[in-house]
């Protein structure tokens, strides 16, 4: 192996293709969903425990910015993960496998997910 190969250790100079960004975001949103479900399960459990617990969850979600932000983050991650998952299903069927069509599908994925994230923000707030 050639030990004199150039090594670029400055990650900020590496330009990622849009397909790689979409793939990385798909994985990141999966982790966000996994972690965010802890908060949603807690709220669900508290809301089902009693009428007072339900009222506390409703009050928390209607008045607390952090609670709304967490719900918006989990719903946004779900929307992005869903759109990217549908794109992957189409790729499993043999579509968007070429370089140019893959780039276009990745760009469409980002646009559709951005619209859904904004709509989720409108719904939460």
Q: Looking at the chain, how many residues does it have?
A: 125
Three-state DSSP class for residue 35: helix
Give the Cα-Cα-Cα angle 71, 73, 75 (nearest 5 degrees). 70
Is 88 assigned to a binding site? no
Please check whether residue 40 is in contact with residue 74, taking contact to mean a CB–CB distance below 8 angstroms. yes
Backbone φ, ψ for residue 14 (5° rounding):
-85, 125
- Return binding residues: 81
- Return binding residues for heme: 81
């Amino acid at each position: 192996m050639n030990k004199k190969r150039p090594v670029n250790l400055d990650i900020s100079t590496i330009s990622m293709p849009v397909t790689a960004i979409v793939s990385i975001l798909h994985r990141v949103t999966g982790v966000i969903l996994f972690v965010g479900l802890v908060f949603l399960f807690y709220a669900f459990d508290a809301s089902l425990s009693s009428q007072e617990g339900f009222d506390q969850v409703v009050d928390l979600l209607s008045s607390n910015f952090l609670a709304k932000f967490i719900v918006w983050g989990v719903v946004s991650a779900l929307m992005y993960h869903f759109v990217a998952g549908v794109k992957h299903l189409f790729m499993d069927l043999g579509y968007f496998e070429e370089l140019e069509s893959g780039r276009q599908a990745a760009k469409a994925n980002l646009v559709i997910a951005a619209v859904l994230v904004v709509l989720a923000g409108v719904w939460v707030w």
